[in-house]
């Protein structure tokens, strides 16, 4: 039987390996040689699937952004809006091993977005979607509040999420999880104080 090579499957496999190497050792760890070796390819064989390291890097970032988008589903009807807000916020914080590992990729993404307009645009598009969903959840709890007050709450939590992801790379895991769980709790308390009293 002839050996069938599924080109797209191979590409996905290479990206998964690149991402894992980046999650384990940061951007510098994802060398072409290392990716080829970990994916079981001969050195140089990656060229059949990607034009070069830049193409692999961009596709790796794309896979992370796609996953992040999947983790921010549209707000659900019939669910306690406070719970919808809390779980959304918690999902953007480095509160488990998987999210902390992902922070290494995010840091590399931000570094590259500075000099790659396509990547920057892609990231800002993700961020717009993220902010819009956050805004819906805040409004579901708070009712209509002045637009700039809503924007300030959105900006704060987005910035906290970015900062927490960087901090997650520099500090011990248990400190990070405790610290940002506390932040989510405190933020929800503040929201509770801003929310209209039940009628």
| Interacting residue ranges for its own copies, rule: CB under 8 A | 25-28, 104, 107-108, 110-111, 113-115, 120, 123-124, 127, 148, 152, 155-156, 158-164, 166-167, 169-171, 179-180, 182-183, 186, 190
> Which C-beta is closer to its own copies: that of 12 or that of 34?
34
Give the nearer residue to its own copies in terms of CB position, either 60 or 161: 161
Smallest distance, Å, CB 1 to its own copies? 45
Backbone Cα Rg of the chain:
20
* Cβ nearer to its own copies, comparing 49 with 92: 92
Tokens read off for 117? 């307009």
C-beta of 198: minimal distance to its own copies in Å? 23
Q: Which two tokens stand for residue 95?
A: 């509160």
Least distance in angstroms from the C-beta of 148 to its own copies: 8
Q: What is the DSSP string of 129-191?
A: HHHHHHHHHHHHHH-S--HHHHHHHHHHHHHHHHHHHHHTTTS-HHHHHHHHHHHHHHHHHHH
49 three-state secondary structure: coil
Q: How far is Cα 118 from Cα 106, in angstroms, rounded to an integer?
A: 16
- The nearer residue to its own copies, 75 or 187, going by C-beta atoms, is 187
| Of residues 14 and 106, the one with the C-beta less far from its own copies | 106
Instruction: Say which residues have a Cβ less than 8 Å from residue 58's Cβ, sequence separation at least 6.
Output: 116, 118, 119
We find the least distance from the C-beta atom of residue 178 to its own copies, in angstroms, to be 10
Backbone region of residue 129 per phi and psi (left: phi > 0; alpha: psi in -120 to 50; beta: other values): alpha
Distance in Å, CB of 92 to its own copies, minimum: 11
């Amino acid at each position: 039987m002839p050996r069938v090579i599924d080109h797209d499957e191979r590409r996905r496999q290479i990206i998964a390996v690149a991402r894992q190497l980046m999650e384990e050792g940061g951007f510098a760890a994802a060398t072409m040689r290392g990716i080829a070796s970990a994916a079981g390819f001969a050195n140089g064989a990656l060229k059949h699937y990607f034009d070069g390291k830049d193409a692999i890097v961009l596709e790796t970032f794309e896979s992370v952004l796609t996953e992040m988008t999947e983790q921010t589903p549209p707000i659900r009807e019939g669910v306690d809006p406070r719970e919808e807000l809390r779980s959304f916020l918690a999902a953007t914080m480095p509160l488990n091993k998987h999210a902390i590992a992902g922070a290494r990729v995010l840091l590399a993404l931000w570094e590259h977005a500075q000099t790659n307009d396509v990547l920057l645009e892609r990231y800002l598009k993700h961020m717009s979607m993220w902010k819009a969903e956050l805004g819906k959840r805040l409004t579901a709890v708070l009712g209509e509040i002045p637009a700039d007050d809503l924007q300030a709450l959105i900006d704060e939590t987005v910035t906290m999420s970015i900062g927490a992801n960087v901090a997650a790379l520099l500090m011990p895991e248990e400190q990070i999880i405790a610290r940002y769980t506390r932040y989510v709790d405190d933020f929800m308390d503040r929201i509770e104080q801003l929310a209209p009293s039940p009628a």
